[in-house]
Amino acid sequence: MVEDDDAIAIPLAEGLEREGFEIVRVATGADALAADGYDAVLLDLGLPDIDGYDVCRRLRARSAVPILVISARGDETDRVVGLELGADDYLVKPFGFRELVARIRAVLRRRAAVLDAEIPQQVGDLEIDRRTRRVRVGGREVQLTAREFDLLAFLAEDPGAVLSRQEILEHVWDPHWYGTTKTIDVHVASLRRKLGDPGWIETCRGVGFRLSAPANSR
C-alpha cells in the first residue's frame, strides 16, 4: 500500500488484514519503487516525493505486478492516464471498502490466470489453453473469434462466480466502453452455440453471467 495519509492508510490496512491480506505500507514513491516481492500494489497518486503517475509508469516498466490506483483524482482524464500508464484498475476516493476488496481479488485472479497460462485450464470437459488460445470440449477443438476467446477466458478465471455486465465490458472490451451491453449477449449466444451446450454459460438476470460446467460434462 502506497499511501502517505495515516488517517486513510491505518484503518484501511487493518480492514484488509481482517480480510486475510498481508499489508506492507509505505508512504513515499521512492519507498514504493524500492520495495520488492509484493503480489499487488495499491497506489495513491498524491505522494510527497514522486508523482503517483510516474511511480505507476516505473513499476509497470519493470514488473507485471497488478497495480490498483486509489485516488481522489476522479476526472475521466485522470482515470484514462492511470490506465494507459499501466494500472490494472482505478478506484476513486471515497470508495466502498467491499468494492475495494472485490477489485483487489479480481486483479489477483487475473494475475494468477496469467501465471497459470502455461497450463491449460480444465472446467468439466472444457479445456482452455491461454498460451495457444485454443479451446476444446470433450477433445473436440472449438474455433472461436478473438473476442469470444477473451470472453470465455475471463468467465473461466473464476468458474461459478457471477461476473457483472460492467466487469465483462471493462475487461473484455474496454474500460471506457460506450456501446450497448447487448454486444455481450451476442457473443454469449455464439459461445453457447459453439460449445455445444447452452448450459456452459448461465445468465443471472439483472446481474451478469457465469461459467458453469453442465451436469453431463462434470
Domain limits, the chain: 6-114, 117-217
pLDDT of residue 194: 95
Q: What is the pLDDT of residue 20?
A: 93
The C-alpha cell 513515499 sits at 28
Vertex 102 angle, CA 202 and 124, to 5°: 35
Could you tell me which residues are beta bridge partners of residue 208? 164, 204
pLDDT at 151: 94
User: For residue 157, what pLDDT is reported?
Assistant: 87
- Residues of the chain falling short of pLDDT 70: 114-118, 175-181, 216-218
Q: What digits encode the pLDDT tens for the residues 99-138?
A: 999 999 988 888 877 666 668 889 999 999 988 889 999 9
Contact yes or no for 53/32 (Cβ under 8 A)? no
Whole-structure pTM value: 0.56
Separation of alpha carbons 70 and 46, rounded Å:
10
- Which grid coordinates belong to 194? 459453439
Amino acid at 27: A
**Assigned fold of 117-217:** Arc Repressor Mutant, subunit A (1.10.10)
The answer to whether residues 16 and 101 touch, using CB atoms and an 8 Å cutoff, is yes
CATH superfamily of the 6-114 domain? Response regulator (3.40.50.2300)
Show Cβ contacts of residue 194 under 8 Å, excluding neighbours closer than 6 positions: 142, 143, 144, 148
Give me the helix-helix angle, 182-195 and 146-155, nearest 10°: 90
